[in-house]
Amino acid sequence: MLIRPPGFRGAAFTTAAAGDMLSGDRGEVSGTLGIRAEWASLRQVHGSDVLTATEPGRAGPGDALVTGARDLPLAVMTADCVGVVLETEDAVGVAHAGWRGVVAGVVAAAARRLEDLGRRPGPVLRAATGPLIGPCCFEVGPEVAGLFHDRHVKSIGGMTTVDLATAVRDQVPEAEWWSVEACTRCEEGWFSFRADRTEHRLATLGWIP
């Protein structure tokens, strides 16, 4: 039901079995993780703005959220896009990145903001990507492929696709990365907007216990 990246202070990804995290019951997930049920979140707009959370609720329009506060879960919601958790010595951040966000550099922007946060500023040590639409399924047209570095563009069975996870990892090369190895589009157990225009969302959560 929940995926916990190993070695992280506070990070989790939900699966479809945990329910719709856009409107669903967050109490059960929060209880399982031992975190408060009131999360800080964003009105996600596929850009690169980074907001600092100081309290639960919608922090505003943006696609990355950071905090140095304890016991304040940060959440982004996805269904094919990349959910990212970033940890420094003293702060945590989450980011939502579809292809527009990746091109806009939202994950790099979140990392730079995190470096200055907390009582012990420093680099991103650990980062993780959640379930996302893989290069097996993320077909794009030439206008989108042209926005990515060649090494992130794949040619699979006549399709041109983008490897979003690798493109995200390359934005914070100093971090030690961990990934959920799953494709939301062609594997069971997730939500995929491309598959069926779902309104349900998975959650990516980061917090400081």
Which residues in this chain contact Zn ion in the complex, by CB under 5 A? 134, 136-137, 183, 185-186
**Which CB atom, from 191 or from 207, has the smaller least distance to Zn ion?**
191
Q: Whole-number minimum distance, CB 95 to Zn ion, in Å?
A: 22
Residue placing its CB nearer to Zn ion in the complex, 51 or 168: 168
Contact 7, 186 (CB under 8 A): no
Residue 96 or 185: which CB sits closer to Zn ion? 185
- Cβ at position 166, least distance to Zn ion in Å: 15
CB 65 to Zn ion: min, Å? 28
User: What's the closest the beta carbon of residue 67 comes to Zn ion, in angstroms?
Assistant: 33
* Full 3-state SS string of the chain: CEECCCCCCCEEEECHHHCCCCCCCHHHHHHHHCCCCCCEEEECCCCCCEEECCCCEEEEECCEEEECCCCCCEEEEECCCEEEEEECCCCEEEEEECHHHHHHCHHHHHHHHHHCCCCCCCCCCEEEECCECCCCCCECCHHHHCCCCHHHEEEECCEEEECHHHHHHCCCCCCEEEECCCECCCCCCCCCHHHHCCCCCEEEEECCC
Q: 94 or 168: whose CB is closer to Zn ion?
A: 168
Q: Which is nearer to Zn ion, 38 or 159 (CB)?
A: 159
Q: How far is the CB of 133 from Zn ion (least distance, A)?
A: 7
